[in-house]
Amino acid sequence: MEISLAGLWVLQDGEPEGWGYDDYPSNFAGTTGGEGIYLISGHYSGPIDVTVQVHPTRPEPPEGWEKSTEVEGIYPSRVAVAWSEILPADDGLRSIELPAERVRVRVLVKGWSTPPNPGSPPETWLLQVWPAEVA
């Protein structure tokens, strides 16, 4: 996925009705205006490697990640789309079918730096998604 200036990107509902920030549970991920989650890269812009895994139940947390947090997102259409400002998402991130309208997302990152630095190593993101009611 390619991100643009400021490093903000989202995993938002496929048919969004609103936008805004509700809270900031960490310095790199949180909920948007009720329809998805926002993520903040440690890079200002450039490529990041993103994998989204959808699970029927809460998965075990994998080892070896530098940063992690869990957030809850609401997706009325049960489809998520990743994008960064006006940049389209990669094909694999354009139509992610979710197991429920309300999901829990474990956000894991390697290579994240602060303050954001265009010369830092590549970032790798893993988003593990499962129904919130089995959290």
Instruction: Report the CATH number that the domain containing residue 78 is assigned in CATH.
Output: 2.60.34.30
pTM of the model: 0.86
3-state secondary structure of 133: helix
Range picked from 14-28, 54-68, 104-118 for highest mean pLDDT: 54-68
Q: Which residue has the tokens 């895994």?
A: 53
Residue 135's pLDDT band, with cuts at 50, 70 and 90, is: very low
Question: Total domain count for the chain?
Answer: 1
- 76 contact partners, CB below 8 Å, separation of at least 6: 13, 15, 17, 35, 101
Instruction: Pick 75 or 120 by higher pLDDT.
Output: 75
> Which domain covers residue 54, as residue numbers?
2-134
